[in-house]
């Protein structure tokens, strides 16, 4: 539809019609099988069913086609409804969770995964995905780190842009074709900074931290063309995001240039009353509109109050029209007025869980795994008798908690992967579950995963596991968090394996020292005890549909590990929040000594157990010193930084070479180092290569004391190394 026609339509709509275009109600209104991803008991009145502008959490080509048909017949101007869904890491083919995708350090692969997710979800009737989540995540206590790509603004920005481009495809005249979906970048803003890592908590950030560290990744998604932004549950400066005029009108729309649809998170407009920021739902609706929130997701604020606010002149028709127009424009850019059902059964049948997507998911698993330890080169596996022990040898919940539209029966477990991998090899493999994932007193066990006779069950499982461990040459422990221990509303003050799993690992280690530990998880957990008892430790994250196959590909050597940590792994939760790009302080703790009167803990190192960017391969690499083609640059100049990388091991491998910069001093204090580039280089044993990075002035900019992004003259340190702990560096000056 042309813009003029859209304006005509808008002007012809009644006030009630306009208001209802700004209302999103749960998919449960239309379908009993709708996923519930928020507080379920809202907005379920049939009275609004054929009036709301959008719904969420239902999918299925035939089902949505029927709903759309009924809806458009009843909608006075036959305006199509928008179907939105949390397609977070795939639709029917589930990819590794976003934190695992961050660990790939491979934006092209992540973009391909998003393209596959868009193709599948669009074929299944979806128009908008609530992804990418670009929240900077530095606190492992916060369970939603699983949905992020980690603690670094640069990596997050690259991944958020890659996902956005994958979901939306090439935008021709701003249009999104029927093989793609609109992307919604979330949660704006700085939701990952929740105090104490407790979900939905307030966020206390300086303007400097907000602008310099927390906003850049959202900006990259907006620059990549994201059609929608979602508000966050938290407050900033004491104001809830969904009513924060400065954050939304000044920063998001003016400074960051976003002109698309702003949707609230589930219930967040109405929750301004709980925050103590709105007097009542009418006041919440008023504050939401004034902050430019176009769609009220699943709260009763807009549907029950907007009409009166306009009739009373509290909100002008012009203000309302702006919001409605943005929603109609999105529907138009999706082509819904001409083609309200962009999907077809044939296409859905041909793309959902297709072999091409499974193969891509399997490759993504392999590239996301992070090898943290590999003593005696126990990996890749080369034993005659191998035992797989632990609660994750089977069980389909190897996908993230945000895989709402998937069927677990489609997942490949580690057991299935192992049986296939060792078929006909002569290696004998055995399996023993060993224990339950959770302790009996965990909230999840009590509420949803109760096991009768839990003690007796685990006693039997343990006995069987020890017999199996005694038999084996090598034991592969398959341990980890429960899939519902990460994701929304899953903050933890204790980030260890469950006690029952620790007991199992200790018992197995008593009878067999050749242990490889695989850890399923959606966040960094404390791994000290696992590392002490295991010769090899590998992080598998929540790998999704092809988990068993991708993991076995790597531990048998069919694929090589190349993942790198997207978050620092602490010695203990007491170090959280923990991030490599921290400030120096006036009393930096020296590398040696106990650091009296310096910034330190009495009972823990400051450094992580495993650093951001860390990961092993099956070979080893050596770096030459960093060399710069010049030691001074002007703002018009560039410096080329290079290092030679040599494969000094016995097999090929892929190294993720990382560039970090440190601004030695500035008008605000600057991080000890910041990731500014990375390149993958694959080398055969003995091979060498030169890896170069161009350093330009734009890479040196930060949020200065003049409250703008700019570079400042002075000394910089350039690091090139295998992870954020590298000291391999050279100095240069910006003149
Ligand atoms: C949830 C989440 C958000 C999700 C939305 C819709 O509360 O915070 O990430 O996209 O509701 O499911």
Average pLDDT, consecutive stretches of 10 residues, N- to C-terminus, the chain (735 residues) = 96 98 95 86 77 97 97 97 98 98 98 98 98 98 98 98 98 95 98 98 98 98 98 98 98 98 98 98 98 97 97 98 98 97 91 98 98 98 97 88 91 97 97 96 86 93 98 98 96 97 98 98 98 98 98 98 98 98 97 94 97 98 98 97 98 98 98 98 98 98 98 98 98 98
Q: State if residue 144 touches ligand 1 by the CB under 6 angstroms criterion.
A: no
What HEC string does 177-196 produce? CCCCCEEEEEEECCHHHEHH
Spatial CA neighbour of 477 closest among 424, 414, 544: 414
Q: Rounded to the nearest whole angstrom, what is the distance from the C-alpha of residue 548 to the centroid of ligand 1?
A: 28
In this predicted structure, what is the pLDDT of residue 83?
A: 98
**Cβ(733)–Cβ(632) below 8 Å:** yes
Residue with CA at minimum distance from ligand 1 atom 11? 266
Residue given tokens 């009768």 in the structure block: 452
User: What CA–CA distance (Å, rounded) separates 379 from 557?
Assistant: 8
HSE toward the beta carbon, residue 339, CA cutoff 13 A: 14
In this predicted structure, what is the pLDDT of residue 40?
A: 66
Spatial CA neighbour of 97 closest among 474, 442, 488, 381: 488
Q: Which atom number of ligand 1 is nearest to the Cα of residue 88? A: 10
- How many C-beta atoms lie closer than 10 Å to residue 97's C-beta? 33
**Cβ(31)–Cβ(56) below 8 Å:** no
User: What CA–CA distance (Å, rounded) separates 249 from 292?
Assistant: 7
Exposure string (b/e) for 680-695, b if CB count within 10 Å is 16 or more? Answer: ebebeeeeeeebebeb
Residue given tokens 């979330």 in the structure block: 186
Q: Which atom number of ligand 1 is nearest to the Cα of residue 133? A: 9
Predicted structure pTM score = 0.98
User: What CA–CA distance (Å, rounded) separates 298 from 37?
Assistant: 11
Q: Which atom number of ligand 1 is nearest to the Cα of residue 187? A: 9
Mutate to test the pocket of ligand 1, among 240, 400, 488 (most ligand atoms within 8 A of CB): 488
**Cβ(628)–Cβ(639) below 8 Å:** yes
Q: Where do runs of H (alpha helix) occur along 339-482?
A: 345-351, 355-368, 414-422, 443-447, 454-471
Which residues 6+ apart lie within 8 Å of 222 measured at CB?
Answer: 185, 229, 256, 257, 258
In this predicted structure, what is the pLDDT of residue 42?
A: 65
Handedness of CA 277, 283, 288, 289 (dihedral sign): negative
Angle of helix 547-555 relative to helix 414-422, nearest 10 degrees, comes to: 50
Q: Where do runs of H (alpha helix) occur along 435-568?
A: 443-447, 454-471, 499-511, 528-533, 547-555
Q: Rounded to the nearest whole angstrom, what is the distance from the C-alpha of residue 186 to the centroid of ligand 1?
A: 9
What is the three-class DSSP state of 527? coil
Name the E strands within 563-667. 621-623, 627-628, 632-633, 638-647, 653-663
715, containing H or E segment = strand 714-721
Read off the tokens for 252. Answer: 């998001």
In this predicted structure, what is the pLDDT of residue 43?
A: 61
**Cβ(240)–Cβ(203) below 8 Å:** no
Q: What angle do CA 124, 130, 131 make, to 5 degrees?
A: 105
Name the E strands within 510-613. 515-520, 536-539
Exposure string (b/e) for 384-415, b if CB count within 10 Å is 16 or more? Answer: eebbbbbbbbbbbbbbbbbbbbbeeebbbbbb
Q: What angle do CA 513, 518, 523 make, to 5 degrees?
A: 130
User: What CA–CA distance (Å, rounded) separates 576 from 197?
Assistant: 8
For 276, counting Cβ atoms within 10 Å of its Cβ (0-12 exposed, 13-18 middle, 19+ buried), the class is exposed
Q: Rounded to the nearest whole angstrom, what is the distance from the C-alpha of residue 233 to the centroid of ligand 1?
A: 10
Is 265 known to be catalytic? yes
Q: State if residue 148 touches ligand 1 by the CB under 6 angstroms criterion.
A: no
In this predicted structure, what is the pLDDT of residue 437?
A: 95
What's the chain's Rg over C-alpha atoms?
26
**Cβ(374)–Cβ(102) below 8 Å:** no
Strand partners, 730: 718
- Catalytic residue of the set 212, 265, 296, 397: 265
Strand partners, 717: 662, 731
**Cβ(658)–Cβ(734) below 8 Å:** no
In this predicted structure, what is the pLDDT of residue 448?
A: 85
Q: In what order do the strands lie in the sheet with 385-389?
A: 370-374, 536-539, 515-520, 474-480, 385-389, 428-432
- How many C-beta atoms lie closer than 10 Å to residue 177's C-beta? 15
For 670, counting Cβ atoms within 10 Å of its Cβ (0-12 exposed, 13-18 middle, 19+ buried), the class is buried
User: What CA–CA distance (Å, rounded) separates 403 from 100?
Assistant: 14
User: What CA–CA distance (Å, rounded) separates 543 from 546?
Assistant: 7
Q: State if residue 186 touches ligand 1 by the CB under 6 angstroms criterion.
A: yes
Distances (CA, A) of 696 to 316, 317, 699, 701, 732: 47, 48, 6, 10, 12
Q: Rounded to the nearest whole angstrom, what is the distance from the C-alpha of residue 366 to the centroid of ligand 1?
A: 28
In this predicted structure, what is the pLDDT of residue 36?
A: 87
Exposure string (b/e) for 319-352, b if CB count within 10 Å is 16 or more? Answer: ebbebbbbbbbbbbbbbbbeebbbbeeebbeebb
Strand partners, 680: 656
Q: State if residue 325 touches ligand 1 by the CB under 6 angstroms criterion.
A: no
């Amino acid at each position: 539809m042309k813009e003029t026609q859209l304006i005509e339509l808008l002007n012809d709509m009644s006030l009630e019609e306009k208001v209802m275009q700004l209302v999103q109600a749960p998919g449960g209104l239309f379908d009993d099988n709708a996923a519930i991803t928020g507080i379920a008991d809202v907005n379920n009145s049939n009275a609004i069913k054929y009036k709301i502008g959008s719904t969420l959490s239902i999918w299925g080509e035939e089902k949505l086609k029927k709903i759309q048909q009924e809806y458009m017949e009843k909608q006075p101007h036959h305006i199509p409804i928008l179907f939105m869904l949390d397609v977070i890491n795939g639709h029917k083919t589930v990819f590794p969770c976003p934190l695992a995708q961050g660990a790939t350090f491979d934006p092209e692969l992540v973009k391909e995964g998003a393209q596959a997710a868009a193709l599948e979800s669009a074929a299944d009737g979806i128009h908008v995905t609530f992804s990418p989540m670009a929240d900077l995540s530095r606190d492992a206590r916060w369970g939603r780190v699983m949905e992020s790509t980690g603690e670094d603004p640069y990596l997050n920005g690259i991944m958020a842009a890659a996902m956005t481009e994958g979901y939306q495809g090439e935008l021709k005249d701003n249009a999104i074709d029927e093989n793609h979906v609109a992307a919604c970048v979330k949660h704006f803003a700085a939701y990952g900074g929740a105090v104490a890592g407790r979900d939905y908590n307030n966020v206390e950030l300086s303007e400097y931290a907000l602008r310099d560290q927390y906003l850049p990744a959202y900006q990259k998604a907006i620059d990549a063309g994201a059609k929608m932004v979602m508000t966050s549950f938290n407050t900033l400066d004491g104001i809830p995001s969904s009513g924060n005029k400065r954050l939304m009108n000044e920063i998001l729309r003016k400074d960051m240039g976003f002109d698309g649809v702003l949707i609230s998170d589930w219930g967040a407009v109405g929750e301004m009353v709980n925050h103590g920021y709105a007097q009542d739902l009418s006041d919440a609706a008023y504050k939401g509109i004034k902050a430019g929130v176009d769609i009220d997701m699943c709260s009763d604020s807009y549907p029950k109050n907007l009409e009166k606010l306009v009739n009373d002149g509290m909100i002008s028709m012009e203000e309302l029209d702006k919001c409605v127009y943005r929603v109609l424009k999105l529907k138009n850019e999706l082509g819904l007025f001409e083609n309200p059902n962009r999907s077809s059964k044939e296409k859905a049948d041909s793309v959902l869980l297709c072999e091409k997507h499974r193969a891509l998911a399997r490759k993504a698993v392999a590239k996301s795994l992070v090898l943290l330890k590999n003593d005696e080169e126990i990996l890749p596996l080369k034993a005659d008798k191998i035992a797989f022990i632990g609660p994750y040898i089977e069980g389909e919940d190897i996908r993230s908690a945000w895989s709402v539209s998937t069927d677990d029966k489609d997942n490949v477990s580690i057991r299935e992967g192992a049986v296939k991998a060792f078929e006909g090899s002569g290696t004998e493999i055995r399996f023993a579950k060993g224990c339950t994932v959770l302790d009996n007193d965990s909230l999840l066990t009590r509420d949803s995963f109760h096991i009768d006779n839990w003690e007796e069950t685990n006693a039997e499982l343990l006995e069987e596991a020890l017999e199996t461990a005694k038999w084996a040459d090598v034991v592969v422990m398959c341990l980890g968090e429960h899939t519902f221990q990460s994701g929304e509303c899953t903050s933890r003050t204790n980030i260890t394996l469950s006690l029952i799993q620790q007991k199992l690992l200790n018992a197995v280690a008593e009878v067999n020292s050749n242990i490889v530990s695989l850890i399923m998880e959606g966040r960094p957990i404390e791994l000290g005890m696992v590392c002490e008892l295991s010769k090899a430790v590998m992080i598998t994250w929540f790998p999704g549909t092809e988990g068993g196959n991708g993991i076995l590909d790597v531990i048998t050597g069919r694929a090589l590990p190349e993942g790198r940590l997207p978050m620092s792994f602490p010695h203990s939760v007491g170090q959280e929040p923990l991030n490599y790009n921290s400030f120096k302080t006036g009393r930096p703790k020296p590398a040696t000594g106990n650091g009296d009167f310096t910034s330190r803990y009495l009972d823990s190192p400051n450094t992580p157990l495993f650093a951001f960017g860390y990961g092993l391969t099956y070979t080893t690499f050596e770096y030459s010193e960093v060399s710069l083609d010049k030691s001074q640059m002007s703002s018009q100049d560039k410096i080329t930084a290079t290092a030679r990388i040599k494969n000094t091991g016995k097999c090929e491998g892929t190294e993720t070479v990382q560039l970090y910069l440190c601004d030695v001093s500035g008008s605000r204090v600057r991080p000890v180092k910041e990731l500014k580039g990375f390149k993958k280089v694959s080398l055969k044993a003995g091979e060498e290569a030169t890896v170069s990075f161009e350093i330009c002035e734009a890479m040196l900019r930060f949020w200065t004391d003049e409250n703008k992004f700019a570079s400042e003259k002075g000394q910089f340190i350039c690091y090139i190394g295998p992870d954020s702990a590298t000291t391999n560096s050279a100095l240069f000056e910006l003149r």
